[in-house]
Structure 1
Amino acid sequence: MVFKRRDRRPVWQIVLDFLWPRGGWARAFHYVKHRLRRLPDSPDRIARGIFAGIFTVFTPFYGLHFVTAAIISKLVRGNILASLLATFVGNPLTYVPIGLISIQTGYFLLGRPPRPDGEVHRTFGGKFADAAVDLKDNLIALVTSRDADWHGLLVFYHEIFFPYMIGGIIPGIVFGLIGYYVSLPLIRAYQARRRGALQERVKRIKSAKAAKAEGK
């Protein structure tokens, strides 16, 4: 069976568009904002979904952020689609500072001595790469005669993943609440303005029909 790639763009262009959308991150931000405001749900549920999405960005579950955001949104009774859209806060421009904040906070909460941001930054990607290689090799070892070696994953868990997971809770809640309290009045105002505009449109249509009926 031959699988054809629907996207005819070169691979480098796909990667570039992910790192920097063609319209720029500003345009992508306005698109997400527009979609959030027009969701057919109550402002409170949408704002709770935004909280869930922003909180998720501060977790180390890369590749599972949509699933994590949906679960958290369900737990807080938020709008799931809003939570998925809010994970846009996590992007190639913000993942590094978010990771540094979460890991350093985790070191502090676990009573570990703080490490220079530059050192954490250098080891951050390296430990993720080592863990990915270990995971791949160990999955291969399950179906071959090779011996599994979990050293890289253990180092990654103790030095990066666990501090990241613990340390991301506080900033995740803080920034999530900021997103909630900032978005709630904005969504309420937008929906109220939209209802007013819709009611005004209905009145104009009724008036036009009444005037047409009188003219007959």
Structure 2
Amino acid sequence: MLFRRRDKPTRLERIRVAVWPRHSWVRSTRYFSKRVLRLSATPHAIALGFASGAFASFTPLIGFHFLISFALAYLLRGNMIAAALGTSVGNPLTFPFIWASTFKIGQMILSGKTSDANAQEVHAQFQERLLQNSLDTLLPMLKPMVVGAIPLGLIVGTVSYVAVYKSVEVYQRRRKQTIAAKRGPLLFRTAKTKDQDGD
């Protein structure tokens, strides 16, 4: 197979690469942004797809992010590939902040309190439950995290939609201009050759 590695990566290495990129995070982010820009769809469909993936990454259902993003993209008529790429908003660097913020906001929405004392209590409760391995203590965390994921996911999804829409629109416009600029001299040479052949 073309470009296949000589040494087959071990399972541990594959897990490490999935959690932490082989190259820098900046390079990986640049790669994903180029993948999004080069998708062949309308800016609206690409932006909707990416926003669906960004929204899905805020839910605590880690194993289902792709399925949730695909379902949202299908309902909103967004691009499926962009939806998959949008789930990269949730990654090992952002997950701790996403989980803590969704839990905190969910607790505030459910309890209706927004005081500083309550915020400290929520933070301590989150850390205590997160460090315990018992499923019984983790399950009660899902309800406030799901509730908190909705407003945060909508905000990040909206911001993602606007940013991706503008970026894709500019990229596609410049690409069309570049292609038109390259075709212009070619069409001129072709027409000139035909005229000479006609003479």
Distance 2:37 2:89 in 1: 16
Distance 2:131 2:87 in 1: 21
Seq. identity, %: 26
1:120 paired to 2:120:
no
1:191 paired to 2:177:
no
Q: Which runs of 5+ in 1 are unaligned?
A: 1-6, 132-151
Question: Partner letter of residue 168 of structure 1?
Answer: A
SS at match of 1:168: helix
Moved more, 199-208 or 33-42: 199-208
CA deviation digits over 1:110-158, x for unaligned, max 9?
10744353541342253xx433xxxxxxxxxxxxxxxxxxxx2xx4332
Q: What is the CA distance between 1:186 and its match in structure 2?
A: 1.4
Distance 1:8 1:29 in 2: 25
Question: Partner letter of residue 32 of structure 1?
Answer: F
Contact 1:58 1:171 in 2 (8 A): yes
Q: What is the CA distance between 1:12 and its match in structure 2?
A: 3.0
Question: Partner letter of residue 130 of structure 2?
Answer: F
Q: Structure 1-normalised TM-score?
A: 0.78
Distance 2:53 2:130 in 1: 23
Q: 1:122 to 1:207 in 2, by over 3 A?
A: farther
Distance 2:126 2:96 in 1: 10
Residue 29 of structure 2: aligned partner: 29
Distance 2:93 2:67 in 1: 22
1:40 paired to 2:40:
yes
Contact 1:106 1:168 in 2 (8 A): yes
Distance 1:118 1:193 in 2: 51
SS at match of 1:58: coil
Contact 2:100 2:126 in 1 (8 A): yes
Moved more, 193-202 or 113-122: 113-122
Question: How many residues are matched?
Answer: 186
SS at match of 2:59: coil
Residue 148 of structure 1: aligned partner: none
Q: What is the CA distance between 1:48 and its match in structure 2?
A: 1.0
Residue 90 of structure 1: aligned partner: 90
Residue 134 of structure 2: aligned partner: 130
Q: What is the CA distance between 1:83 and its match in structure 2?
A: 0.9
Distance 1:206 1:93 in 2: 50
CA RMSD of aligned residues (A): 2.1
Distance 1:11 1:118 in 2: 35
Residue 142 of structure 1: aligned partner: none
Pairing 1:1-216 to 2, within 5 Å after superposition: 8-111=8-111, 113-114=118-119, 115-117=121-123, 119-124=125-130, 126=132, 129-131=133-135, 152=136, 155-158=137-140, 160-214=141-195, 216=197
Q: 1:196 to 1:176 in 2, by over 3 A?
A: same
Q: Structure 2-normalised TM-score?
A: 0.84
SS at match of 2:8: coil
SS at match of 2:77: coil
Q: What is the CA distance between 1:182 and its match in structure 2?
A: 1.6
